[in-house]
Structures are given as C-alpha cells and as structure tokens.
Structure 1
Amino acid sequence: MKTKTPAALLKRWAPPVVLLILFTLFVIAINDVDKAQLVVREGQTFEKGVVTAIIQDNLQPNGTRVGEQVVEVQMLTGVRKGQTLETTSSSGYLFGAGCTVGMHVVVLQSVAGDSTITSVYSQDRGWVIYLFAGLYLLALCLVGGKQGVKGALGLVFTFACIILVYLPLVYQGCSPFWVSVFVCIITTVVTLWLIGGPTRKTVVATGGTVAGVIISGLAATLFSMASGISGYNVSDIESLLTLWNVSGIQVGGLLFSGLLISSLGAVMDVAMSIASSIAEVRTQNPSLTRKELFWAGMHIGRDMMGTDSNTLILAFAGGSVSMLLLDYAYDLPYLQIINSNNIGIAIMQGISGSFGIVLSVPVTVALAVLLYMTPGALREEKAKAALREKDQEIA
C-alpha cells in the first residue's frame, strides 16, 4: 500500500481538525447558560447507598407490595457517606423500589443541620445502562471492524450534539425546528464523513439525507396546518408552558423538531445505501448513460424505501402501544380514537417521516447521477476499486 506523504495527510486532516476545534469552541460558548431555577433543591441531593437490612416489609401474601418498606441504607456518597440511615421505600411503579438486602439504591436526601430526611428514589441502575451501552459499542466495533469503530464514533457524536447543542440552543429561545435541522446537518456530515471519507459518495449521501429530513419537516408542517394538530397538543404541555413562561422556549416547535431527529437515522440509511450502490454500479459498468444510471438507482431505492418506511412507522406505532391498548380496552368509538390528539400525533410522525424516506430516494439518485457521471469521478472509483483488490490480495 502506498504511504501517504505528510503534505497529503495535512491536506486531508487539517480541515476537519480545524472545524472540530471551531465546533468545540462553539459548543463551549452556547453551554454557558444560567438556568432559571424551577424547583428549589437547596439541601436536597440524590446519593448512592446499599440496603443493609429490611426493618419492615410491605410484601403481601399474593406477591404484591402495598404501602412502604422501612429499610436501613448504608450511604456510599454525600455528606452522610459511611453512615447507616433508616429510610422508607414506596411501592410505586414510578418511584421507590422493592428493596432487598444488598440492593444498590439511589436515595433522595435532604439535609438541614443535623436533621436528615431520606427516601429511596429508585434502584441504582446506572451501571446497567453504562454496561449495556459499552457492550453495544464493543459489539459494533468487533463485528464492524474499522467501519464499526467509525460508526461508534458517529453515534457518540450524534448523542453529544443532542445534549450539548440542541438542548442549550432550544433552551435559549432558538427555533426548535431550525436547531434540529442544524443538528441533523452536522451529525450527518460527521457520521457519513467518518464512514465514507471525503468522497463524492459522502456528498451524495449527505445531500440526500438533509433533503429527506427537511421534507419530513415540511410534510409534518402541512399535516399540522390541515389537521389542527400542533406542538401544543402534546400530553406534557403544562410543564412545557412553564418553561415558556420562565425562559421563552418555543414549545410549539418541539414536536416537529423531535420528528426530524427521529427520522434522521432511517433517512441516512437509505441515502448512504443508495449512494454506495450507485457508485458500485457506475464503477462496474462505466458505459451506462445518465438515464440508465438514474433508473438503476431508482430500482435500488424502491427496494429500500418499502422496508425503511415500514421500520419508521412501526417505531412510532411501538411507542404508542400502551395508549392503543387502553383505547382498545375501554372500547372507545372509532371517531373518538381517530380524532384524538395522541393518535393524530403518532400518525403524523409516522407518515411525515416516511415521506422523507420516500422522497429522499429520487433526490439522492439525482445527486449521484450528477456527481458520478463526471470523468474524474469514474477515475477515482476505479483507482479505489483497484486499491481495495490489492489490499485483499495482500491480506
């Protein structure tokens, strides 16, 4: 394999490194936020502990729990670290835990002088989350090899953008819709660049992904205008309006921005698959005309759009299973169900996201034909194919 010169390495890596530095400075700047205090938490903390004894249990003969447990917890963190405190654990499904000796729990602790009031908030499951996330990334790297490592880096970057870019900008009053568009563009460029490198294929996939995501947002906007469903029809609107009163967050756009982020993965998958497939078709058969290459790409995209649209609709439907089961159990009239806000929102999300997937296909194919049909593009693809064959022979 030919060794790249320092000048070639500098040419390839200098621009992304400079952009990464500028992006890091941007992230640091937008995260310098003074949050308005919505809840007074002075003296109140969440600490880790381990249950050492069950003083009074609430387990019933039929296996259910009623009321509260009284337990002893040895504190592992906080100002009471090392001390054993007597506390309570409720039997609720949202808060509390069915404590057993040796269980690690999170304790809600309020300290005022020598007085301490505590209750078990939940089982400590943080290590489980970190373990499974680490195992997934490890499996991705082991199975995917070099591409798996790149995919893992892209996934981590995407998650970081949502936490460190989307949330601070929306909190500061920026439009959730356009912030989500910005985040989708940034994460798409970085993820696809990591996977495909600085190539025409990456440009094609990026263009198709961004187009598909924006089409999803436009479809959702039209659906909203026609149906009367807006971001103010969500179930937690009361809490969101509190944020609007305090910090000016544009809560009406959160529903549509969430739709863009939700559809990003499926649209990116379609766009990258089409871009790669058309590049291979062009390399293997350079005699194809623009029209022939376009229809070859459309045939490839048609096979993909059906399964990916199904995946996206099922994902949104899966998130509404509990609501659908309640509607079924109460035997609600059809007109009530189909016109409820929750059902309308779920339908809007599934259909609008699928619009983005379907219409991203011709956009991606058209971009591929435009960029792949140049003489320089064909020479580049042939050189890369020859290099891959040579690497395989050496291996």
Structure 2
Amino acid sequence: MNVLVWLAAILFILMVLIGGKKGVRSFLSLFLNIGVLFVAIFFMTNPENSPIIITFIACTLISWISLFYINEKNSKTITAFISTMITIVILLLFIVIVTEKSKIQGFGEESTEEISMFSLYIGVNFAQIGASVIIMSTIGAILDVAISIASSMHEIYHHNPIISRKKLFTSGLNIGKDILGTDTNTLFFAFFGGYLGLLIWFKDLSYSIGDIVNSKVFSTEIITIFCAGIGIALIIPITASVNAYYLVKTREK
C-alpha cells in the first residue's frame, strides 16, 4: 500500500511540475476514467443490459473526460471528439463480427484450474463482453492519435491560413503516417511485456508454435492488437478529413 501511495505521489508531483494545471486535471482524469470503467462493469453484470451499448457509452464518457476535461473545449478537442466517435462506431461493428466469428470469448484452457471452483453460468453474453474488452483496449490509442493529428493540423492552419482543404488533409495524413508505426509498435510491445510470463510458461510446457498460435489466450491478445491497429489506421484519415473540413469551413464563414 505504501508503495502505491508513493508512486501516485511521485506521478502527481511530476505531472504538476511539467503540466501545471493541465497536469492536475490529467491526474484527476485517471480516477474519473477508472470510475467510469467500474460503473460500466457494474451495469454489464446485469443480463438485461447490452455490453456493447454500455461500452459505447463508457467510451464516450472516457473520450469526453480525456479531451474536454483535460484540454478544455476548443476547436481541436471538438474535432478530435467527433473523429473518435466515428471511429468507435465503425470499430464496434467490426469487432462484434470478428469476436463472434473467431470464438475468442470466454476463458482459455490455461485458466481452467483457477476458475474450476466457480460457476460459469453468470448470465452474460461472453461474445459481447469479449468485444467490449477489445474496444476498451483501443480507446486510449485512438484518443492519442486523434488529438495529436488535430493539434498538428490546427498549428499548420494557424501558420498558413490560406492553405487548401486538400493540402491540409494531405498534411494530416503525413502526420498520421509517422504516428501509425510507433503507436502500433507500442501496442505490440505492451502485449509482450504484459504476457511475458505466459510466453515463458508456454516454453516450459513445450508448446509448439502451432499450439501457441491456436491457444485462446494468445489469439485473443493478438486479435486485440490487430483491432487496435485497425482503429489507429482508421482514425488517421477520419481525423484528417474532419479537421480539414472544419478549418476550411470556419475560414469561409
């Protein structure tokens, strides 16, 4: 407990020193987002509620907190929020189909011993829960890319107000290309960092490459990475087009 308190204190001090008031809001937003997730989980346990709808509402609240609460309401956060919502809707529909077709919902064989004492008849749709987990895993990366591109495009427009919509859109795409590779690699290495113990266990159990690839635990995480990568790839042209349209339209008015 003391370690958690000290780490939280160090994080808070650094965020205040570097970010000032925005750093304080960023620190508080962590707890607000955690609260949103806990409330979402609470409602998901009710069989009458749709996990997909709850996930969409939770992602909307998380996006609102991460954009408007931290960075306040302005043209950059508005366009980033719109782009994020469009991407989440597209990604939700895609992920629901992928989850149902790939059958990755539920627990893997590696978890059989730990959950054998519990009842699995809990009355929730595991396919939709699996889709919810994937979309929740991607929301952070999507928000990061959206606000990065929006901020960069607004800066470009500020220094060149007469730029055409096509050139502004192209600039947004070029910015996104640089972000795409680094963010996708971040998701990939985050998986290996978080599941390094599992991979070592696979080796100790003499799993073949085929066994590892076909295990539900491994497949679920790889599909999550791919879906997150698809989300990052989608948000780039969507954010670029929304910002180009908004900025040029504002100039015309």
Q: TM-score, normalised to structure 1's length?
A: 0.58
Q: CA offsets per residue over residues 151-208 of structure 1, 9 Å max, x none?
A: 1122221111112x21221122322232122111111112211233222211111122
Residue 119 of structure 2 is aligned with which of 233, 242, 257? 242
How far did residue 330 of structure 1 move?
A: 3.4
In structure 2, relative to structure 1, the CA distance for the partners of 1:220 and 1:230 (3 Å cut) is same
Q: Which range moves more in the overlay, 339-348 or 187-196? A: 187-196
Q: Which range moves more in the overlay, 297-306 or 312-321? A: 312-321
Which has a greater percent of strand?
1
Match of 2:45 in 1: 171
8 Å CA contact retained: 1:220, 1:352: yes
In structure 2, relative to structure 1, the CA distance for the partners of 1:243 and 1:172 (3 Å cut) is farther
1:273 paired to 2:148:
yes
Question: Of the two, which has the highest radius of gyration?
Answer: 1
1:374 paired to 2:249:
yes
8 Å CA contact retained: 1:224, 1:230: yes
Which has a greater percent of helix?
2
The structure, 1 or 2, with the larger RCO (C-alpha pairs under 8 Å, 6+ apart) is 2
Counterparts in 2 of 1:46-61, with a 5 A limit?
A: none
8 Å CA contact retained: 2:79, 2:239: yes
Q: CA offsets per residue over residues 65-105 of structure 1, 9 Å max, x none?
A: xxxxxxxxxxxxxxxxxxxxxxxxxxxxxxxxxxxxxxxxx
In structure 2, relative to structure 1, the CA distance for the partners of 1:377 and 1:128 (3 Å cut) is farther
8 Å CA contact retained: 1:244, 1:251: no
Match of 2:65 in 1: 190
How far did residue 239 of structure 1 move?
A: 7.1
Match of 2:36 in 1: 161
Q: Which range moves more in the overlay, 310-319 or 344-353? A: 310-319
Match of 1:133 in 2: 8
Match of 1:322 in 2: 197
Counterparts in 2 of 1:81-160, with a 5 A limit?
A: 126-160=1-35
Match of 2:219 in 1: 344
In structure 2, relative to structure 1, the CA distance for the partners of 1:324 and 1:215 (3 Å cut) is farther
Residue 201 of structure 1 is aligned with which of 76, 81, 91? 76
Structure 1, gaps ≥5 residues long? 1-125, 379-395
8 Å CA contact retained: 2:96, 2:128: no
RMSD, matched Cα: 2.4
8 Å CA contact retained: 1:184, 1:261: yes
Tell me the secondary structure at the aligned position of residue 374 of structure 1: helix
8 Å CA contact retained: 1:267, 1:357: yes
Match of 1:104 in 2: none
1:310 paired to 2:185:
yes
Taking the aligned partners of 1:374 and 1:315, their CA distance within structure 2 comes to 40
Q: Structure 2: which amino acid aligns with 1:231?
A: Q
8 Å CA contact retained: 1:217, 1:259: no
Q: Which range moves more in the overlay, 181-190 or 369-378? A: 369-378
Matched residue count: 249
In structure 2, relative to structure 1, the CA distance for the partners of 1:242 and 1:310 (3 Å cut) is same
Taking the aligned partners of 1:251 and 1:301, their CA distance within structure 2 comes to 34
Residue 171 of structure 2 is aligned with which of 288, 296, 302? 296
Taking the aligned partners of 2:67 and 2:229, their CA distance within structure 1 comes to 21
How far did residue 346 of structure 1 move?
A: 1.3
Residue 132 of structure 2 is aligned with which of 250, 253, 257? 257
